[in-house]
Amino acid sequence: MVGSAVCRRLASEPGTKLITRSRAELDLCDERQVNEFFAEHRPATVIFASAKVGGIHANKTFPVEFLTDNLRQELATIHASYRNGVKRFLFLGSTCIYPRLAKQPIKEDELLASPLELTNEAYAIAKIAGLKLCQYFRQQYGVLYHSAMPTNLYGPGDNYHPEHSHVLPGLIRRIHEAKANGEASVTIWGTGTPRREFLHVDDLADAIIHLCQLDNPPDWVNVGTSTDVSIFELAKLVASTVGFSGEIKTDTSKPDGTPRKLTDTTLLKSTGWSPKIGLHEGIAATYRDFLKEQSSGNLRSK
């Protein structure tokens, strides 16, 4: 999802030669394959958009895979980059690297200040390791390896799996199906009170290119909108976009996760970047993309 958005964004950037590989073509967990690929192509800049990701349920259910797949991909790719002369590396993480009860809005220096949220601890530990490895390479070997920590993302190419997706694609799919089936109500997970911040993936792609053009970028920087909504408000927004007027019920047997993760984006703003896509217009565009992907048989749901 993020990689495709970066490619769309770079299509309009003159003088860029893009080198991409799909998961089927290159297994980033395989250090030997990754090293051979880098030795052959010798990219100048690497944007590391690959990760094993998922929503609260997937993270809680598969901590072994979330930790090991991500660590293996990061180690293989960062080492192969250094060995093959990559001067600039942009590592992508997530704001779930911050503590469960981080001070809100969350500044970058909240990292490792107190315990993590347990529902996504394995993923967070892998992403903290990647961020720190980039910081250490920069400090020890003088290469420009740095990181961006986006808030919850949405947009074209998202995963619409009924259980393993994140909340926004999960709700788009469930509420769309409730409307199509003429149901009187729809059920969302948890209490509906946690608050989340959402960033359109095209805004993230633009921020990534901006960061890659800075001479002295921060070691890691939050990428977000600095505004959040409750999950219940989000469900109402999706329902009005989809045109579903039934009741919205909550299922409190499902986990809420962290109560709030609102980013402080002062640092990013100070470098001259702000997001452009508002949540209402972003959800409307994403619902149109969902309908298009669904009717063409390209909806990702694994």
- Contacts of residue 273, defined as CB under 8 A and 6 or more positions apart, other chains included, come to 206, 207, 210, 211
| Binding status of residue 27 toward ligand GDP by CB under 6 A | no
Name the DSSP class of 54.
Answer: -
Which range in 39-47, 130-138, 160-168, 236-244 contacts ligand GDP by CB under 6 A? 160-168
Tell me which residue has tokens 């469900």.
235
**C-beta of 194: minimal distance to ligand GDP in Å?**
4
Binding mask 166-205 for ligand GDP (x = CB under 6 A): xx--xx--x-------------xxx---x-x---------
Angle at 169 between CA 165 and CA 170, to 5 degrees: 60
Nearer to ligand GDP, 76 or 204 (CB): 204
Active site residue 123: yes
Q: What are phi and psi of 2, to 5 degrees?
A: -70, -45
| Binding status of residue 55 toward ligand GDP by CB under 6 A | yes
Q: Which listed residue (5, 49, 92, 96) binds ligand GDP by CB under 6 A?
A: 96
Binding mask 239-268 for ligand GDP (x = CB under 6 A): ---------------xxxx-----------
Site size toward ligand GDP, by CB under 6 A:
21
Q: Is the peptide bond before 105 cis (omega within 30 degrees of 0)?
A: yes
Beta bridge partners of 145: 89
How many Å apart are CA 218 and CA 270, to the nearest integer? 11
Question: Cβ(120)–Cβ(56) under 8 Å?
Answer: yes
Catalytic residue chosen out of the listed positions 98, 123, 145, 154: 123
Encoded tokens for 36: 């051979």
**C-beta of 164: minimal distance to ligand GDP in Å?**
8
**C-beta of 202: minimal distance to ligand GDP in Å?**
19
| Binding status of residue 99 toward ligand GDP by CB under 6 A | no
Q: Which residue is nearest to ligand GDP (CB)?
A: 55
Nearer to ligand GDP, 89 or 98 (CB): 98
| Packing angle, helices 231-242 and 279-295, rounded to 10 | 60
| Binding status of residue 98 toward ligand GDP by CB under 6 A | no
Encoded tokens for 193: 């009170």
Question: Cβ(94)–Cβ(257) under 8 Å?
Answer: no
Which range in 68-76, 80-88, 98-106, 161-169 contacts ligand GDP by CB under 6 A? 161-169
**Ordered DSSP codes for 128-150:** HHHHHHHHHHHHHH--EEEEEEE
Residues in touch with ligand GDP (CB under 6 A): 55-56, 96, 120, 152, 165-167, 170-171, 174, 188-190, 194, 196, 231, 254-257
Catalytic annotation, residues: 123
